Amino acid sequence: MEEKEEGVNLNWTLPVSSVQELVRQRQPDAVPPRYLRDDIVMAGHHRELSQGLPRIDLGKLMDPPSRSTELCNLHSACRQWGLFLLVNHGVLDEGMRMMKENVQGFFDLPHHEKQKSAQKPGSLEGYGQAFVTSHDQKLQWNDMIFLKCHPAHARNLDLWPKNPPEFRIALEKYSEDMRKLAAEVVKYIGMALGIHEGELDLLTKSFGEGKYEVRMNYYPACPEPERAIGLLPHADISGITLLTECGNIPGLQVLSKDNCWVTVPPVPGGIVVNLGQIMEVYSNGTYRAPDHRAVVNKEKERVSIATFCYPSPSLPVGPSPQLLAATGLPPIYQTLSNSGEFLQCFLSHKLDDAVPFIDTLKLQTPNRCVRPFHLLLVL
């Protein structure tokens, strides 16, 4: 692969060594220099969620007598956190169990077997790491396999592992369950925002026909967890993200409104719903796409599954027309013609840009979205 570092977009990544193999072969008693992230890990202070993450019961949202109260709870969670724990979500335990077992089984395979699904030049899809754009870039303490799942024609089955034997079956079923769940969740997020009738139907239908991509993360035990980072602080660019933990090891942290990193404890059977920047733009800034990160553990590995849920590529990305009409407020964000244009803007954004990507979409900020010359593969 050409080892260019200038003009690289975020759909391009350099191959790097497996952190899992580094730990297995060398068993280091200190974090190797390229993984040292004292600047990130030591910034800010931490606390546990004393009262737990806001819990939203999908069953109550679906039940007319309890819907109004639960919609108020959902509205508050989206405003204050942009993150909530979804319970009573209706996804069968068997499907979730099968997916978790196969993801764990994949990362338990010998390295040469996992390498059969390794990323190809010019794509983030497959086994490896994302967004490595230079040879002196600091790295994150994780390995991942990232696969496109919906629509079906977007799948690159050459990268879908054949081992474990049921991996493909599990991923196909799980991603379909997440697609159906996301459309339902987005419908109620729209209702909580005050969207109704035709626009609500369009929003729901768009996520039913949207793009779904699954990132499976492996965070090995780390000899100095206070000096490494599993996943850098970031806000997702999706509509929403659905996160499933494969065990009981905490690692997800979310940045609260008072700029404190808060640890989100795993809850058996629960799914963490994280609002992405498409939804923050759609809500005209009413709802948050929160910054979050993954920290690592000294004794235990952690495995998680994140499903990135996008609306149909034909849906414009901008503030809700109904919301603007109802509030009388001016739009904060520009409207892009479709979610494909939105994703192209993100992929052309530089990782080290001092201006956060979402701020480049604000109307009072000069539009710094530079469209790439060539058609990009979107996340």
CB 278 within 8 A of CB 342: yes
Q: What pTM was estimated for this model as a whole? A: 0.92
| Strand ranges across the sheet with 126-128 | 55-57, 83-87, 271-275, 240-245, 302-310, 211-219, 143-150, 126-128
Hey, CA dihedral for 69, 82, 220, 128, is it positive or negative? positive
Spatial separation of the C-alpha atoms in residues 9 and 346, rounded to whole Å: 9
What percent of the chain stands above pLDDT 70? 89
pLDDT in tens, 174-212: 999 999 999 999 999 999 999 999 999 999 999 999 999
Closest of 276, 272, 277 to residue 262, by C-alpha: 272
CA 244 to chain centroid, in Å, comes to 11
Amino acid at 5: E
Query: Which CATH homologous superfamily contains domain 34-105+142-322?
Result: B-lactam Antibiotic, Isopenicillin N Synthase; Chain (2.60.120.330)
pLDDT on residue 378? 34
Could you give phi then psi for residue 223, rounded to 5 degrees?
-65, -25
Tokens read off for 76:
């508050």
Closest of 22, 178, 171 to residue 106, by C-alpha: 171
Tokens read off for 322:
């109904």
pLDDT on residue 377? 31
pLDDT in tens, 147-161: 999 999 999 999 999
pLDDT on residue 352? 65
On the CB side of 62, CA atoms within 13 Å amount to 11
Measured over all CA atoms, what is the biggest interatomic distance in the chain, rounded to whole angstroms? 61
Omega prior to 151 cis, within 30 of 0? yes
